[in-house]
Amino acid sequence: MILRFAIFFFFLSISANAQVIQQTTVSKRTKENFDKSWQFHKGDIAMKQVVRVGQGGITDINVPVIAKKDTVIDYTNFRSSLSMLPTDWRTVNLPHDWCIEGDFVHDDDLGSQPSASGYLAVGKGVYRKEFEISESDKGKKISIEFDGIFRNSTVWVNGHLLGTHLSGYTPSNYDLSDFLRYGNEGKNVILVKVDATQPEGWWYEGCGIYRHVWIVKTDKLHVARFGTYVTTPSVSDAEATVSIRTTLKNEYKTVKNVSLVSKIINEKGLVIATKTSTLSIPPFGQTEVSQTDTIEKLLIWSPETPNLYKVLTEVFENGNVVDTYETTFGVRTVEINKNGVFLNGKLYPVKGTCNHQDFAGIGVAVPDKVNWYKLKVLKEVGSNAYRCTHHPPTPEVLNMCDSIGMLVLDENRHLSSSKDGLEDLSAMLYRDRNHPSIFMWSLENEEAMQGTVTGARIMETMVNTAHKIDPSRKVTAAMNHARNEGGYSDVLDVVGYNYGDKQLAYVKDKENHPDRVMFCTEGTSFVSTRGEYENSWWKHTCSNSTIWQPDWGPYPGEDWADIVKYPYLGGLFVWTAFDYRGEPTPFSWPSVASQFGFLDVCGFPKDGYYAYKSAWTDIPTVHIFPHWNWTGKEGQKMKVHSYTNCDEVELFLNGKSIGRQKAVPYKKLIWDLIYQPGKLEARGYKAGKLVTKDIVETTKAPAQIDLESDVNTLKADGCDVAIIKVAIKDTKGRVVPTADNLVKFEIEGPGKIIGVANGNPNSHERDKANQRMAFNGYCMVLVQSDEKSGNIKIKASSDALKSTVISIIAK
């Protein structure tokens, strides 16, 4: 019920509150999505640095267009930027990741280390867009906000060089007001050059403008960028004190007398509290205004009850609204101390997962709907926390975590107190500090300088920066070594333990440092290939049944035993929820993706998924593996494994009991038996009563294709996505666990295929295609709506299999 409500609220809150706002005031601020209809050129275009203002050429509107189809341009010559050959450009919508569109290349020099980028070639690219600005916008403050460009981006508008932003994970913003053409002055051009040749991490990072872009228009008297800070310094059962700090900017050359009105709005869209302040702001001045109000009959935010409020900020001059601004917040208390994590006054074990941002078939250009899908999958397994590894996430993920109910460990990319380093850290803090889901900041992950004196000095500066910008939260660092050296841990509020279970390091450290505040920032690292039960250097597969490589982690779920036994550890972030591109430990070529997840890159569960579902939920669970299709192994010894949260499990083979075992919490059960084809059945008991069962059968040969979409309807907005699971089944409708049939897709109607995948970490098939081989019974196709209503039909076919068609309505 809570999950359904959260989903409903997230998708409808914006429109619902917009209606309330229209009734109370007229918004003078607009935030327009700027994702559609960009031109993209793959590859570098030489740009000569001009010494006089105005770059011209492709950075401006009056660029000569070369019409000859057989023309070849030398883009290494700067004169190439003075004209445009349309055939070398194509239209794309953002978010866009051009790296995922390429072929796999066996080049160990790609990325920061061999295989880091998943053997997909990075490079340089150029984005260009023509657009118009109304005459009525003249005199406004107009800026462009890039949520994320990977990486090293340089921006021109109408021939003017605006700036460069190095980070691929923090937002960049440029004031366009002076450089735009308004109304009859003519069209505008923005050009963005992206250099993704240098990595920032050791995983797949993609290439391009891979997050949303926005045009923001305000009055010159307005709330500053990320200009509100809402906290609840005092919370009781009856009421909460709300502190609102608002930064106002006056970009006029005269003094402005202002009334600042802050309205607190509940989930029903009702104004429940109002605060008004009056002040004067000097010419070109900036002022922070502090206000305090009270919420009575409050609704607490937690992962189980993700209740949200909004502050509507209205800026008045001479009785007229000149700017409005909205800030979503939640009321909750978080205390992290030497005894554990306490949410709203109660011990709250954090059931977390580590997550990179890519997804099957689409790379890092992840539509909002797909991010929502990923979070929904995590909620279903019982997770209540999300670690953004190892960088700040796209803003929409945080909005979703607020709404769906998911704690967040928001992570900074680099250990750095340089100017750029502190600017990136500050951008994360200012952008994200109002999200109730964020319970702690992580300032770095596994940096080599952990435990050094120099590292401690750098970290202390970063900690001080974080405390200044957001004194309401504690900070940590995800440490995998030297936790007791160099004074490094001493400057942190919370010492993060990555793989602290090694030799029980966190228990020994607690004995030596009883007042140390600890948290398990990362653990597990159990590698497995979905549907595989053999460790093989030749096949590049890792068994779901046994620990092999790497050997530093436990079986899935076993790590939770320490959190229960030692509650002062606060919780755990499992490495990882989903498989991800790059870092294919323990392999290299031809493997192109990791195998750390308890879900594959498509979100199909591996066996370890059920270990965490058993540990993290009260839903009666019993799961047995491996599959039961073992032609040629009749009469041979075999082990059957089970993850469960039942008291006892009894296993049957073809109706005969193999034995009943008592379960040990967070440990898997194992039976030895002789393989015979047929039916395996596990029955789970609690307090002596049968509460659940799991059945695995020997199937027949593949006979048909089954399609299952996560939705029946899509918004006809050009953005919404249907995630369609493809299963290969026998004549009785059972998934064939070893099927690898090639499935071809056809689509009709107002939609398009944006990616295909199958969860095979060794597959070199193209992700941008209309076909995919099944991997151990499954593959996936992602379908995105166009901007037209109608019936989208997707047909899946394969040689010798019965085809199938599914319909999705776009409206």
What residues act catalytically?
446, 522
For 590-624, letters b (16+ CB in 10 Å) and e give ebbbbbbbbbbbbbbbbbbbbbbbbbbeeebbbbb
Quote the longest CA-to-CA distance of the chain.
Answer: 91
Give the relative orientation of helices 368-380 and 2-24 as an angle to the nearest 10 degrees.
140
**DSSP 8-class letter at 563:** H
CA distance 43 to 47: 13
Query: What are 78's two structure tokens?
Result: 């700067």
CA distance 664 to 625: 18
3-state secondary structure of 430: helix
CA distance 520 to 517: 11
- Provide the pairing of β-strand 172-175 with 622-625: unpaired
Q: What is the DSSP string of 442-492?
A: EEEES-TTTTSHHHHHHHHHHHHHHHHH-TTS-EEEEESS-TTSTTTGGG-
Q: What is the DSSP string of 375-426?
A: HHHHHHTT--EEEETTS---HHHHHHHHHHT-EEEEE-S----SHHHHHHHH
CA distance 87 to 82: 16
Residues in Cβ contact with 598 at an 8 Å cutoff, skipping those fewer than 6 apart: 381, 526, 528, 556, 574, 576, 577, 605, 606, 608, 609, 611, 612
- Provide the pairing of β-strand 385-388 with 407-411: parallel
User: In what helix (H) or strand (E) does residue 600 lie, and over which residues does it extend?
Assistant: none
The three-point CA angle 240-466-323 to 5° equals 60
**DSSP 8-class letter at 171:** -
Nearest alpha carbon to residue 65 among 43, 45, 87, 46: 87
Nearest alpha carbon to residue 314 among 28, 617, 657, 613: 28
CA distance 330 to 301: 5
Q: Tell me the C-alpha to C-alpha distance, in Å, between residue 94 and each of 150, 171, 195, 206, 367.
A: 13, 15, 17, 13, 9
The values of phi and psi at residue 678, to 5°, are 140, -130
CA distance 409 to 387: 5
